[in-house]
């Protein structure tokens, strides 16, 4: 069970990394995208790498039934996910104009 949970978590990180890569690729092709937005998108990959390391540590804590560390790691992983989500929402809210009319039609992930 513990391995299955962490394996599913790692698969979700794979999907998230793919979404980030697609988004970054699309935005790099648009000349009007601010450099700070591209930098923030790149940072998302670094955050997901950190989440991946935390998930691998989580696997060991689950196996050892170290519930304090399990809880801590889950909170850290969730907090990092929330940080990406909140930042992406802010980018869209403040810089959405660089997507133009395609904003409602184009899906990055």
Judged against a pLDDT cut of 90, whether residue 106 lies above it is answered with no
Q: What is the pTM of this model?
A: 0.80
Q: Is the dihedral of CA 72, 78, 80, 83 positive or negative?
A: negative
**Tell me, what's the pLDDT at 103?**
47
pLDDT in tens, 40-76: 999 999 999 999 999 999 999 999 999 999 999 999 9
pLDDT of amino acid 92 = 81
d(CA 8, CA 14): 10
% of the chain surpassing 70 pLDDT:
84
């Amino acid at each position: 069970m513990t391995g299955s949970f962490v394996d599913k978590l790692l698969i979700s990180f794979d999907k998230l990394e793919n979404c980030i890569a697609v988004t970054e690729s699309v935005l790099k092709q648009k000349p009007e995208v601010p450099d700070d937005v591209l930098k923030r998108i790149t940072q998302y990959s670094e955050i997901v790498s950190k989440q991946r390391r935390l998930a691998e540590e989580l696997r060991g804590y689950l196996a050892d039934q170290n519930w304090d560390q399990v809880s801590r790691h889950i909170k850290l992983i969730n907090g990092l996910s929330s940080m990406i989500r909140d930042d992406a929402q802010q980018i869209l809210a403040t810089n959405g104009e660089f997507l133009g009319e395609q904003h409602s039609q184009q899906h990055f992930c």
